[in-house]
Structures are given as structure tokens and as C-alpha cells.
Structure 1
Amino acid sequence: MTNVAVVKAPQTRRWNSLQLLKGGRAAILLLDVLLLIAVVTGAGVHRDAMQAVGKDTAPSIIAAQKIKSAMADMDANAANQLLAAPGSATPAAALYEQRRIEASKALVEAAKNITYGATEQTPIETLQVTGGTYQRLIQQAIDFHDANDPNQPDMGVRYYRHAGEMMDTALLPAADDLDKANNTVLEQVYREASEHSTLSLWFVLLAGLLMLGTLAVLQFFLLQRMHRLLNPMLLAATALTLWLTFYAFASMNREADRLRVAKEDAFHSIRALSRARAVAYSANADESRYLLDPAHAADYEAEFYRKTNALVSLPASIPLALVTANASHGRSTPGFTGYLADELNNITFPGERAAAIETFVTFEQYMGVDAGIRVLARSGQHDKAVALCIGSSPGQSDWAFEQFDRASAKTLEINQKAFDEAVKEGLAAVDKLELKGAVAAVLIAILAAFGLAGRIREYE
């Protein structure tokens, strides 16, 4: 009889209860660390995004547009001084000085907030150095104008023309460069923040769920193997893990929502309105230049319409009343473009719609007064055109521009307040989140360790 050897299949090595308890403890500690890493990483990602948008880039963009607005209005008021009678004390002189101070303060604020190196520093240096040269040329122009020397009748205009070229080719573009440098970073940071926010939220949720699942399995194991209904320590660790997971998730999600409000709802309008005001001031200067320097009137007129079209571009077939009616009901108007259209299409906050409509209406009123100035100038009534241009009484150009300026400032203030609140709330949402996560993680580890210690001792 032939002996046949019987080969037994190898048995899978099974862990005993002690090994399972120790393995469960190690898994909890490992997952606890993973959850803490997820919380700390996510908090940093969300805080850095809000810091970059709310504290670094957006304020510099706003400062750049303030500089541009103030300098453009300086130029308009300098032209108005030269249009007035020599030696007369006009409101334009006081407004010029006021805007000069505003531009200087905004430039200082921008210099304090340099974050991205030469892309910010270079335009700030240009604004500082060239701005000083511009002011000297304007002072010389006014001095020649006030001297009223018949042997040098055009010297004031010549100096102003030189200063105006400097404004158009160096100062205003430098302010735009400062805006662009920060806006490029802002858009990149916001795009990356949106992606990283989603990943960090999933990371926290996954780590938390793994931790909760492991704790639940251990509780079930104790129930099945050791007939223990509840382990108070593990139950407390589970509750704390649940709190940490959803508190961190909710905090980060809150910051992400506030970042969206700050960037998409508030800052989008802030930038459109800031650019609108800066371009409007520059166009207002071109209106005065049109009368001051007849030799280049056609060029100034073309620039005026180019800039005002950047604010409002509307097909001739569409009446203004239709745009206003559509805006009042939250509807867009086909063919209506420009900075003011961007704002009217991005209404979000209480009171913003009425203020934005008023901004649009008052700008169109200003454009109506400007048309009257050009009719007078072309009909040979230069003095009347000048009076209408530099007059501040109701129905005159400076008055009409002031109405637009106040309405746009009100709309801007609404969005700026909403932006500041969103940034504050977003940073508050993740404030000390790493510390809270660390404390919770340590407590979870202690509770889990003590909760299993007694059961482990029973098997040792």
C-alpha cells in the first residue's frame, strides 16, 4: 500500500485579543495625528488665502486706484486753475492741494504694503519721483498764468501740456502697473485657494471619518469579545473626534465662503468702481484740457470719449430709461458694457442697487453737461464754455461731476464695508484653529489610551 503524504494548507495567523487591542490603540494614535495634520494644514491654507486677498493684494489695488484718482483729479483741477482768470482764488486750487495730499497718503500706504518685490516697488518709485517733477511743472504753469505776462502768453499752457503728458504716459500707467501686479497675484491666489480649500476640506473629513470608524470598530469589538456595553473613555474620544472633525470642517468652509464674498461679491465691485472713478477723473481733466489747449483739442476730445466709453458703452438704439429699469429689476441690458455695467451686474448687498443706479444716472447727467460745453466751444462761445466747465452751480460741469463722484463713493463704501467684514469674519473663522485642534487631538489620544488601558491589562 502506497503512503500518500497529505499537505495541509498553511493557516492564516490570527491576532489574539491583546494584539487587536494594542493594534487598535496604535491605529487610533496614528489617525489622531493624521486628523491633527489635516486640521493644521487646512487652517493654514485657508488663513493664508484670506491674508493674501484681504490684507496683501486687495488693499494695494485699492491704494493704486486711489493714487490714480487723486492724481487725475489733481490734473483736472490744475487745468481748471489755468482756465480761470489769472490770480483768482478758485476752488480748483484748494481741490488740487487736497488731492495732492490724498495721493501722497495713498502712496505711503502702498509703500508700507509692498509684498511682491519689484513688481510693486518699481511703479511706487515712479509715482514718487515723477510725481514730484509733475508738481513742479504744474507750479511753474500756474506761476506763468498768474503773472499774465503779455510777452509770454502761452507759457502756462506749455508747462501744463508737458505736465499733462507726464501724467498720461508715466504717472497713471504706473498706478495701473501697481494695480496689475497685485491683481495678478490676487487672481492666482484665489484660484489656487479654491482648489486647495476643497482638498483640505476632504482631507479633514476623510481623516475624521477614519478616526470615527476605528473608534466605532473598537467599541463593537469590546461589545462582542468582552461584553462591555460602553467604554466611557472611548465614547468621550468619539464625541471629541466628531466635534473636532465637523468644527474644523465648518470653520474652513465658513472661511471659504467669506473669501468668496470678499473676492467675487465685494472686491469685484470695488475694483470696477475704483477704476471707474479714476478713469472719470482723467476724462474730466481731458474736458478741461479741450478748452485750455485748442491746438490739441481734437486729441483731448478723442481721449475723453475713449475714457468715458470705458465707464459706459451703450448702443444708440437703447434708451437710458431701459438700462435704469432693467437695473432696478436686476436684469442685464444686452450691449451695455463698461465699469459701471460691471457694477450694475454684480449687485449683492443692501442699498447697493440704488446707489449703483444713482451712480449711472449722475454720470449720464455729467455727460449731458459736457455735450453742452462742446456745443458752446464749437459755436465760438469760449467764455461761456469755460464758465460751464469750471462752474460748481447746479447744472454746471463741476457740480454734475460732484454728484457722480458722491454716488460712486457711496456705492464703493457699501462694497468696501462688506469686503472688510467678510475678511474679518473669514480670519475669525479659522482663528486659533491649529491650537484648538492640537488640544482636542491630545485629549482624544489620552482618552483612547486610558479607555483601552484597563482592557489591555486584563490580557497581559
Structure 2
Amino acid sequence: MAAWAALRRRYWATLPARLRFLRAVTVSLTAALALLLVLAGLAATGTWDTVADRDAPRTISAADLNLALNNMDAQAANVLLSSGNAGKGRLRTPYGKAVGFYGDARREIGHDLRTLAVAAQGDRADERTVESLTDDFAEYQELIGRALENDGHSGGKAAALADYRKATDLLQHRLLPDARTLVESNNDAFNGQYTQARSTLSAQLAAVLALGLLLLAALGVLQWYLARRFHRILNPGVLAATVCTLVSVLLGAQLLSASAEHLRGARRDAFDSVVALSRARAIAYDANADESRYLLDPERRDQYTSSFLTKSQQLYGIKGADLGTYDAELAVTWQAYRTDGHDLRFTGEFRRELDNITFPGERTAAEKTVQAYVVYQRDDRKIRDLLAAGKEHEAVEFCMDWQPDTSNAHFAAWMTALDQLTDINRAHFTASVRAGRADLAEQLPWSGGLLLLAVALTGLGLRPRLAEFR
């Protein structure tokens, strides 16, 4: 009891003691709020660094690997298809382009594997996947190299085709599944980081508002107590401190809320579309390769026809359609969407993108991409019709040539439209990251500075009153 009485006399029994106690409460709450804002700012900065410098690049590298593997195999098929018999009857332009694209894809795969090997460190599952990919890719290159070597010999097409079959089977059954696993693994990690960061920002926002209200309440009590004891309406220093605190709390809350919104825009509005469109591009290259494989390998034509349809359904899914009915159903469902933007009777990666239209120009770019896809699908039927009519040379030329109104030219136009659509979302992802970082750099110092000013103003406001008791 004696100790309690001593504490009461020291911290509350006298008027100066009560003023010092209220000052200590406001300073403590201000310090706690300032510390919370600093920690929230550091956490948000770390989140943006992780998103922009780790999670997004890893996912994009995995998607690029998936695409490059499909592209490399497609170009290998194109080289074999356009090479003629040991160079005799070679389609020079298609052959030259295929050789160049093949080399580009091989170099891209090497770069992506090195990037993903570094990114996988510490994650044993991803490390094993990258190791498996590296080993399988070495075997794949050996098979393709042997196929191209055999193709260079007169009468070596059959041996080249046998090696190519082994290579493409290795690609389809081991390399591509592993590559897709890496895409999903890295994308899931990004999603987990996003969910955790959003939850943390929400908790920090609630804590800032709670502490801010407590601090404003403490300043209000202090103002009331001064007015009551010293018969003054307002204390200018405490009033100015209250205004500074209010502005600081509003800035801090706005900063955390804006950070959450920028993060949502970066992940959900922009990067979800980037992932869907990256998948679409990889599927497109694989489908285009199926056309070349279909022409190259008569014994597997049924297999490659089925595979082409499967990939078409993954891009623009039409329930119950086969290649005989796909074009008509595609025309009907696409016209229904063009008439009513809410009438989406199809599924697949294009539907995923059209469900996530957010940015200016994105819908127009998405519709242009699907329209280019419609043209490409019509070209595929022309290739099959020419082959069915016994015009194999014309079918190969139409599939392989790069002249206007040929299949490759239309495929390139489709990929250009797809890239432009992807670039819109990538640009907004970058803009969201930049805006989130800029808000932290601009608003956090102001919020913290105002809190420091509030402490100083509270001290200045109380100093004359405490001086009266010396």
C-alpha cells in the first residue's frame, strides 16, 4: 500500500504529475504508432522487392521455358519438313527461318534453366525438377542433333524421323510436364506471397487506425484537462499536435490501403492475365508444331490431329466440338460474344483473359488476338483439305511459307496480337509496382515526420503550464 501511495503521489496525485503522465501516454502512443508505420513500410518495401525481383521473374522464366521448349520442337519439325532430301528440293526461306528460330529457342532454354536453377535453391522439389529438366534437355538435344544429322544424308529421312519421334515423345512426356510444374510452383508461391502480404497490410491498417484513435483520444483528454484546470479554451501546442496526428494517421492509413490496392492490381488485374497469356502462347506453339508433325509423320497423323484439337480446346474451348464442327461453333460463339460482351459460351485461356479485362485498350487487343486465332484455325483446315486431296507439296508449302496469306504469316500475326495484349498487362504490372514503391517513398516520411512534430508540439504546449509549478 505504501508503494502504491508513493506511485500515486508521483504520477497522479498532483497536477504536474498528471500532466507529465498524460504527456508520457501521448509520447508512448506516438512512438508506438511511428514504429508501427516504419515496420509496415519496411514490410511493404520487402513485399514489392519480392514481387518485382523474385516472384514475377521466376514465374515468367518458367513460362518462357515452357514456350521455348515448344518452339524448339516445332522448329525441329519445320527443319525436317522443309529440308527436302539431303538439301534437294529444300524450301529455302522456311528452312532458313526454322534453323534460326531453332537456335534462338535452344539458347533461350539454356538461359531459363540457369535462371530457374538459381531461383530453386532452397526448394528441394523445384531443385529436383530443374535437375531433371537439365538432364532430359541434354538427352533431347542429342536426339534432335542425331535426327538433323541423319536428315542431311541422302535417303536418311526415315532414320531422322525415328529420332525425332523419340525426341518429341521425350518432350511431351517429361520435359513439358516438368516445365509446367515449374510454372505452377512459382505461380503458386507468388499467390501465397500475395495472400500473406494482403493479410498483413489489412492487419497493419487496423492497428494504425486503432493506435491513431487512441492517440487522438489521449490528446483530446489532455486538451480537455488543460482547459479545465487552467481555464483556457484551447492549448495551441496540443491543438497543433492533434492536427499533425490526425493528418499522419490519415496518411498512414491511406498508404497501407493504397499499397494493398496496388498489390491487387499488380497480381490480380495484371499478372493473372500475364500467366494466362503465357500459357496460351506456349500452347499455340505446341499446336503449330502439331501441324508440322502431322505433315512430317504420316503414321502418327491421327495422334497429332487429336493433339491439335486438344490444344485448340485449351485455348478456346467449345464443348463437344471436333475438328469437323469446331470452325462453325467457333464462329457462332465468337459472334455471340461480339454481339453481347457478357455472352461467353467458350472456355480456355482466352476466356480467362476476357474475364479479367481491366485496362484501357485491353479488350480491343484481346478481341484482335482471338480474331487472329480464328484465321489461323481456318488455315489449319485448308492444310488438312489439301493433304486429303493428295496435294501434299501444296499443303507443306502453305503450312511452311512466310508469304502473305499463308499459315505461318497468319500464325505470326496471331502471335504479334497476343504479344501486344500481354505487353498491356506487363506494363500495368510494372506501373503498379512503381506506384506502390513511389507511395512508400513519398508518404511514409511525411507520416513519420508529422508524428515527430506532434511530440515536439505537445512538449511545447505543456512547457509553460509545467513551468508554473517550478
Aligned partner (choices 268, 276, 283) of residue 280 of structure 2: 276
Q: Report the alpha carbon displacement of residue 270 of structure 1 after superposing the two structures with TM.
A: 0.6
Which residue in the other structure is 1:6 paired with? none
Amino acid at match of 1:182: N
Amino acid at match of 2:334: V
Which residue in the other structure is 2:454 paired with? 444
CA distance in 2: counterparts of 1:330 and 1:347, whole angstroms: 11
Greater mean alpha carbon deviation, residues 267-276 or residues 441-450:
441-450
Which residue in the other structure is 1:46 paired with? 44
1:34 aligns with 2:29: no
For the 8 Å contact 1:42–1:204, the answer to whether it is kept is no
Q: How many residues align?
A: 446
Q: Report the alpha carbon displacement of residue 322 of structure 1 after superposing the two structures with TM.
A: 4.9
CA distance in 1: counterparts of 2:187 and 2:462, whole angstroms: 54
Which residue in the other structure is 2:441 paired with? 431
Q: Report the alpha carbon displacement of residue 369 of structure 1 after superposing the two structures with TM.
A: 1.1
CA distance in 2: counterparts of 1:319 and 1:131, whole angstroms: 37
Which residue in the other structure is 2:134 paired with? 128
Amino acid at match of 2:137: G
Aligned-partner SS, 1:459: coil
Which residue in the other structure is 1:242 paired with? 246
1:18 aligns with 2:32: no
1:99 aligns with 2:105: yes
Q: Report the alpha carbon displacement of residue 286 of structure 1 after superposing the two structures with TM.
A: 1.5
Identity of aligned pairs, percent? 33
For the 8 Å contact 2:386–2:394, the answer to whether it is kept is yes
Amino acid at match of 1:64: A
Per-residue CA deviations over 1:274-311 (Å, capped at 9, x if unaligned) read 00000111111122111212222222222111112100
Aligned partner (choices 414, 421, 443) of residue 411 of structure 1: 421
Q: Report the alpha carbon displacement of residue 456 of structure 1 after superposing the two structures with TM.
A: 2.4
Greater mean alpha carbon deviation, residues 427-436 or residues 66-75:
427-436
For the 8 Å contact 1:373–1:389, the answer to whether it is kept is yes
Q: Report the alpha carbon displacement of residue 193 of structure 1 after superposing the two structures with TM.
A: 2.5
CA distance in 2: counterparts of 1:132 and 1:410, whole angstroms: 33
1:344 aligns with 2:351: no
CA distance in 1: counterparts of 2:363 and 2:318, whole angstroms: 19
| Bigger helix fraction | 2
Which residue in the other structure is 1:71 paired with? 69
Q: Report the alpha carbon displacement of residue 240 of structure 1 after superposing the two structures with TM.
A: 2.2
1:284-299 correspondence runs (5 A):
284-299=288-303
CA distance in 1: counterparts of 2:338 and 2:119, whole angstroms: 37
1:369 aligns with 2:373: no
Aligned-partner SS, 2:358: coil
Change (3 A) 1:278 1:427: same
Per-residue CA deviations over 1:197-246 (Å, capped at 9, x if unaligned) read 22211111111121112112211211121023443332332222122211
For the 8 Å contact 1:252–1:429, the answer to whether it is kept is no
Aligned partner (choices 308, 311, 318) of residue 314 of structure 1: 318
Q: Report the alpha carbon displacement of residue 100 of structure 1 after superposing the two structures with TM.
A: 2.1
Amino acid at match of 1:74: M
Aligned partner (choices 368, 391, 396) of residue 386 of structure 1: 396
CA distance in 1: counterparts of 2:78 and 2:412, whole angstroms: 15
For the 8 Å contact 2:284–2:311, the answer to whether it is kept is yes
Change (3 A) 1:70 1:103: same
Amino acid at match of 1:371: R
CA distance in 2: counterparts of 1:327 and 1:173, whole angstroms: 35
CA distance in 2: counterparts of 1:36 and 1:120, whole angstroms: 40
CA distance in 1: counterparts of 2:330 and 2:73, whole angstroms: 33
Amino acid at match of 1:118: R
CA distance in 2: counterparts of 1:439 and 1:350, whole angstroms: 37
CA distance in 1: counterparts of 2:52 and 2:59, whole angstroms: 11
Aligned-partner SS, 1:154: helix
CA distance in 2: counterparts of 1:378 and 1:437, whole angstroms: 73
1:331 aligns with 2:335: no
For the 8 Å contact 1:312–1:337, the answer to whether it is kept is yes
Change (3 A) 1:105 1:445: same
Q: Report the alpha carbon displacement of residue 437 of structure 1 after superposing the two structures with TM.
A: 5.2
Q: Report the alpha carbon displacement of residue 327 of structure 1 after superposing the two structures with TM.
A: 4.8
Which residue in the other structure is 2:4 paired with? none
Change (3 A) 1:217 1:327: farther
Aligned-partner SS, 1:392: coil
Amino acid at match of 2:390: G
Q: Report the alpha carbon displacement of residue 251 of structure 1 after superposing the two structures with TM.
A: 1.3
Q: Report the alpha carbon displacement of residue 83 of structure 1 after superposing the two structures with TM.
A: 0.8
Which residue in the other structure is 2:466 paired with? 456
Aligned-partner SS, 1:130: helix
